[in-house]
Copies of this chain bind each other. A is one copy, B any other.
Amino acid sequence: MTDSHSEKHQPPHLDDFLCFALYKAHHAMNRFYKPLLGELGLTYPQYLVLVALWEQDDQSVGQLGELLHLESNTLTPLLKRLEGAGLVRRRRAANDERQVQVSLMPEGRELKQKSWDVAACLFETIGMSREDIGTLVEDLNGVTGAVVAGRGR
């Protein structure tokens, strides 16, 4: 790490922190989604897992983890709950018994339609143009990429 910070040692203001802005925005998103997803019987991470499966069915726990940046210690119980709710099926892969393949059950596939309303509701509430949202998403992904890449140092 360089010393680019050592010139300016004034105590940081909470609202200036990028990390805090992210923290708040993430929480706001969570609180927004919770009641809407609650009607579907889903939590927010469960919803993300389903979005990933709607896009590409029959993924292994590891594949889902890579997509969502989660590990098996988080995914396993979450997936068991989705399985318990009858939304997905967990089966060990035939060719490699170490892997567990997660695939959609009919009931899980049906939620796809209903969830559109949730995403649309958020889009409306934010009131940003698709372009601005796209730009913001790119900026965020840039930060995410830089932070993830910088972790190993």
Contact = CB atoms under 8 A, between A and B. Distances in A.
Nearest to A148: B28
A24 interface: yes
A120 B4 CA distance: 8
A44 B27 CA distance: 14
Tell me which of A12, A18, A19, A54 has the highest count of chain B C-beta atoms within 10 A of its own C-beta. A19
A28 B147 CA distance: 6
A18 to B, nearest CB: 5
Tell me which of A68, A134, A136 has the highest count of chain B C-beta atoms within 10 A of its own C-beta. A136
A147 B33 CA distance: 10
A19 B137 CA distance: 9
Interface of A: 1-2, 4-6, 9, 11-29, 31-33, 36, 44, 48, 51-52, 54-55, 67-69, 112, 116-117, 119-128, 133-134, 136-137, 139-141, 143-144, 146-148, 150-151, 153
